[in-house]
Amino acid sequence: MRYNYRYRLKPSDELHERLAWTVDTCRQVYNHFLHRLNRVDGTSPYSEQSILPNLKREWTDLKDVHSKVLQKVVQRLYDNRSTLKARKDNGYRVGKLKWKGPQEYRSIKYSQSGFELNNTSGRPVLSLSKIGEIPMVYHREIPDDATIKEVVVKQEPTGEWFAVLGIETEDDAPLKPENPKKCVGIDVGILKYAHDSDGTAVERPDLADERKRLERAQRKLSRKEHGSANYRTQQRVVARRHADLKRKRRDFLHKLSNYYAREYDLVAVEDLDTKGMMELPSNSRNRAGAAWGTFLRMLEYKCEREGTHFVAVDPRGTTKECSKCGISTEKPLWVREHSCPSCGFEADRDLNAAYNILARGLTDVGVVHSESMPAETALPTDTHLVSAKRVVETGSPVLSEATRPSRAG
């Protein structure tokens, strides 16, 4: 199996300058081959990589950049072109690849060689060819049977440096149970971030303070003279505020997705078109802040890692449809309770949707569990509400201590 481990780097001033110089040189190489791509017919990543040795004779600075790093710069250009072409083939309006400015190219990649993880004088360091040994915050042990396949070094807008180690282990993905017993359906929303079919509702994280600090920093930036030293300093402050907001949100999403992947044998979710939802005319800020797409991607790969079934079902009608009799009832967004006019079944709106999501997920996998089907349940008890603060707190048990509401069959 393959994983990405991310570590904070602590380069000295000299190493910082060396890293920044290498990244900027790679940016210029990217722009050079983009120029060739636009003017020379019949180029390919392999043909362009083959001219790098000759280019080093004319561009002597390239001798101070590892060969694999330069090859990956060329590969990156052609990967970007392939992505652009795929989007065009899917009906999107796309432009052309643009030259990268100093603030638009922030990373380099080592592949197969040129890197090594060492322990120097009792401290872990990442040794990079042509750059040096960079101290790192080694907060997470790499498995003994793992092999590091590649290293991506990136500078964030805050000025911090990070290394992402792409590792590969000898272990295969765990087998998924043929007859999953613990199954759950999850309905995501804005008022409650997640509401599952076991009756647990998780509040969305409170990021109001982080947003206020970000807005305050942005207002200060708007009053600075563009391009001045004070402007560049305040830019870093704005970047740090963005990073604070992003880290707290991702911490919440990682812990919540990790809980569901580990605690259940099958997880059913809605197959949401998050990009299309962002283009809707109202409430786009809350939808963007919810980061549903990120949550579902995290949940999917963690389910694969834990040997849990991950099922994305058609979301159409999950809110309108009665989970007990199947009759659809129109209800505006402000109506938060489901009350079926046909069979009289009553439940929280999101809980009813979670039942439907679970039922569709079980059908897609071909599993029939009468005790898990919403149509067989009695009226649900009160929803168990979990504060997002419990999820965000470092080291919290997240939902593991929550008392599930009983549901008689």
* Residue percentage of the chain with pLDDT more than 70: 85
pLDDT for 330: 79
Q: How confident is the prediction for the chain on average, in pLDDT?
A: 84
Distance separating the N- and C-terminal Cα atoms of the chain = 40
pLDDT for 289: 54
Please state the rounded mean pLDDT for residues 188-214. Answer: 87
What's the pLDDT band for 369 if we cut at 50, 70, 90? low
Q: Which two tokens stand for residue 346?
A: 């009553």
Tens of pLDDT along 237-253?
A: 999 999 999 999 999 99
pLDDT for 144: 81
Work out the number of other CB atoms within 10 angstroms of the CB of residue 257: 23
Please state the rounded mean pLDDT for residues 311-323. Answer: 84
pLDDT for 285: 53
Tens of pLDDT along 36-59?
A: 999 988 899 999 999 999 999 999
Q: Domain residue spans in the chain?
A: 2-168, 183-392
Q: Which residue has the higher pLDDT, 348 or 98?
A: 98
pLDDT for 276: 54
Q: How remote is the C-alpha of 190 from its chain's centroid? A: 19
For residue 361, the SS3 value is helix
Q: Which residue has the higher pLDDT, 69 or 322?
A: 69
Tens of pLDDT along 258-309?
A: 999 999 999 999 887 655 554 555 555 555 556 788 889 999 989 998 899 9
What is the layout of strands, in order, in the sheet containing 266-270?
309-313, 266-270, 183-188, 192-196, 200-203, 384-386
What's the pLDDT band for 388 if we cut at 50, 70, 90? low
